[in-house]
Chains A and B, each alone.
Chain A
Amino acid sequence: MTPDGLRARLVVTRPSFALDVTLEAAPGEVVALLGPNGAGKTTALRALAGLTALSGGSRITLDGEPLHTTAAERRRIGMVFQDYLLFPHLSALDNVAFGPRCHGASKAEARRTAAALLERVGLAEHAAAKPRRLSGGQAQRVALARALAVHPRLLLLDEPLAALDAHTRLEIRSQLRRHLADFDGATVLVTHDPLDAMVLADRLVVVEQGAVVQQGAPAEVARRPRTDYVARLVGLNLYRGMADGARVTVGELLFSTSEHLEGPAFVAFPPAAVALYRSRPDGSPRNLWQATIEGIERHGDNVRVHLDGLIAAFADITPAAVADLDLAPGQQVWASVKATETHAYPA
Chain B
Amino acid sequence: MEAFASLMGGFAVALTPENLLWSLLGVTLGTAIGVLPGLGPGLTIALLLPITYKVDPTAAFILFAGIYYGAMYGGSTTSILLNTPGESATIVTALEGNKMARGGRGGAALATAAIGSFVAGTLGTLGITFLAPMVVKFALVFGPADYFALMILAFVTVSAVLGSSAIRGLTSLSIGLFLGFVGVDLQTGQPRFTFGLLELLDGINVIVVAVGIFAVGETLYVASRYRYGRDEIVPLKGSIWMTKEEWRRSWKPWLRGTLFGFPIGALPAGGAEIPTFLSYYTEKKLTKYPEEFGKGAIEGVAGPEAANNASAAGVLVPMLTLGLPTSATAAIMLSAFQSYGINPGPLLFQTQPQLVWGLIASLFIGNVMLLVLNLPMIAIWVKMLKIPAPLLYAGVLVFATIGTYGISQSPVDLVLLYAIGFVGFAMRRYDFPTAPVIIGMILGPMAEQNLRQALTISAGDWSVFFTRPLSAALLALALLALVAPHFWELMKKPRLEHPPAAL
Instruction: Tell me if chain B binds chain A.
Output: no
